[in-house]
Amino acid sequence: MRPVRLMKVFVTRRIPPDGWAALARAADCEVEHWDSDEPIPAKELERGVVGAHGLLCLLSDRVDKRLLDAAGSNLRVISTMSVGVDHLALEEIKKRGGWSSWKPLWMCGYGLTQSTVGIIGLGRIGQAIARRLKPFGVQRFLYTGRQPRPQEAAEFQAEFVSTPRLAAESDFIIVACSLTPATKGLCNKDFFQQMKSTAVFVNISRGEVVNQDDLYEALTSGQIAAAGLDVTTPEPLPTDHPLLTLKNCVILPHIGSATYGTRNTMSLLAANNLLAGLRGESMPSELKL
């Protein structure tokens, strides 16, 4: 077996113990440092960075073209223990880091202001989403489901429409429905073909509501602009799944409820539900079969 090549890290000063301990624990790094509380001389800094993969510096260390040239092509990361970056020759760093200059449409997307948001399933979660989106200037909410929910929809002036109309008129579509025989595969080729080419599709419900092969085709062909998935089939997706290769698809590992508070609330609710059922009491979250 070939020995693992360690990455060289050079630290320009003694740093506080927590940071130093983190570096010392890094089994894939070989750490060198200027063992002093005083600034490192320029010549010593140039010597130290030769061949380094990473540089941890301070505000007093000038990282200029000469130093970058001395470091060589191995240098991948510069981390500074400061908020300010005026000691870093950013233009020179950008030449070596693959960054391009700013462009008017760089990293642009579509905004919520004056948009139409379609929600599939205006239940408790769908309402909570609409409530959070409304302050961003959404012009119109559409929703679809098994039946109209006029009382719940009144808060958002949301309009109950058919699924094809929701697909055709929405700028953002958020799937928040339950997985049932009626919703399984609901978002398929026909659904995506009805969507705007500038529309963004978001699924936070269950992976099987979406035909993922059809979604992949819609994203690669430009039929829709982008997708965000918190749920998939299976979970997690295999690392070689085609959706993971796309730049216009963001996939999270089902973490919509991933806060300490929410998970604690979930566990308490499940426990109380169990105890109530065992005691013959009304269960607070009973599923009516």
The residues that are catalytic are: 254
User: Distance between CA 202 and CA 77 in Å, rounded?
Assistant: 34
Nearest to 18 by CA among 62, 81, 60: 81
User: Distance between CA 133 and CA 270 in Å, rounded?
Assistant: 29
Nearest to 32 by CA among 16, 18, 53: 53
Nearest to 129 by CA among 145, 113, 114, 118: 118
> Distance of alpha carbon 16 from its chain centroid, rounded?
31
Sign, CA dihedral 150-147-172-253, equals: positive
User: Residue 237 in contact with residue 244, Cβ under 8 Å?
Assistant: yes
User: Residue 205 in contact with residue 179, Cβ under 8 Å?
Assistant: yes
3-state DSSP call for residue 80? strand
Rg of the chain on CA atoms, in Å: 27
User: Distance between CA 195 and CA 254 in Å, rounded?
Assistant: 25
CA atoms lying within 13 Å on the CB side of residue 161? 20
Sign, CA dihedral 61-65-71-73, equals: positive
